[in-house]
Chains A and B, each alone.
Chain A
Amino acid sequence: MEITQILFWFLSALAVVAAVGVVLSKSPIYSVLWLIVVFFSISGHYILMNAQFLAIVNIIVYAGAIMVLFLFVIMMMNLNAEAEPAKNIYLKIAGVIAGMCLMIVFVAALAQSADIKVPIAKGTDIGLIKNLGKALFTTYVIPFEISSVLFLSAMVGAVVIGKKEQ
């Protein structure tokens, strides 16, 4: 077994265990910490697939910015208290069964595909910053600029929604 395969299985197990931890932990703080573990393992997968730009962006944007935003909201509003009331246990069981059925359907449908055994190419330099930056600023320059307008409107919207009403 090669070192990349060992790393793949280790990162996959880490991602699945941490994702289960996100769903099962009682306190939202622990959910955020488990979700950071998931994001780091997904970044490890990106590095294994030689997509280094996306790995770095994933760590900076998700684990760095978005999770800090979640932590700030939880801590500043003191939401960490266990506030979930007694709920219907049948709804939980129905949710778990529905998710499992979806997984079974996906796996059963995809396992029959003819392309399922195509190997991932190794060692291509598609994901390097040089290639992606060149494409981003030539072919995709208009969506890039539109996304800056999207960020501006999201910032204005967050301020307007979060402002105290007079």
Chain B
Amino acid sequence: MEIKWYIFLSVALFCIGIIGALTRRNAIIVFMCIELMLNSVNLLLVAFSKMHMHGMGAVFPQYATDAQLFVFFIMVVAAAEVSVGLAIIVMMYRNTHSIDINFLNRLKN
């Protein structure tokens, strides 16, 4: 399997996530689209970690290990981000009784 199919799949998932984040008004769905974009980038990083295993990576296999550990740390940071982000959405619902992000267009009140 060539690397280009993984690249095109990741690009498709990323752009679907961007379209969702731009068009939907529900804060939870926007948040889920951001998670979708994070996952497409993770998929691309794992595909790149297996890309050069015939040439350079066969001599230095720690580069591929670095890429997969980077994906692991992205998952760790995403988990922390989701907990804080959902707390913010809950606070927003408690204050405005809505999760429509159009209500967040002002910084005061």
Contacts and interface: CB of A to CB of B under 8 A. Distances in A.
A23 B50 CA distance: 30
A147 B3 contact: no
Task: Give 5 nearest A-B pairs by CB, closest first.
Answer: A121-B53, A95-B22, A99-B19, A154-B80, A23-B20
A150 B36 contact: no
A53 B36 contact: no
Interface of B: 1-9, 11-20, 22-26, 28-29, 31-33, 35-36, 39, 42-43, 46-47, 49-54, 57, 61-62, 64-66, 68-69, 71-73, 75-84, 86-91, 93-94, 98-100, 102
Contacts of A49: 46-47, 50
Contacts of A38: 13, 36, 39
A144 to B, nearest CB: 8
Interface in A60-78: 61-62, 65-66, 69-70, 73-74, 77
Interface string A31-63: 110010011001001100111011001100110
Nearest to B53: A121
B84 A157 contact: yes
B4 A117 contact: yes
A101 to B, nearest CB: 9
B83 A70 contact: no
Interface of B is mostly: helix
A161 B9 CA distance: 37
A112 B55 CA distance: 22
Interface residues of A, number: 83
Nearest to B4: A116
A132 B2 contact: no
Interface of A: 4-5, 8, 12, 15-16, 19-20, 22-23, 28, 31-32, 35, 38-39, 42, 45-46, 49-51, 53-54, 57-58, 61-62, 65-66, 69-70, 73-74, 77, 79, 83-85, 87, 91-92, 94-96, 98-100, 102-103, 106-107, 110-111, 115-121, 124, 126-127, 131-132, 135-136, 139-140, 143, 147, 150-151, 153-155, 157-159, 161-162, 164
Given A116-B2, A124-B50, 19 more contacts: A19-B36, A23-B24, A58-B39, A65-B79, A70-B86, A74-B28, A84-B26, A99-B15, A99-B19, A110-B11, A116-B3, A118-B51, A118-B52, A119-B1, A121-B53, A121-B54, A126-B49, A132-B68, A151-B76
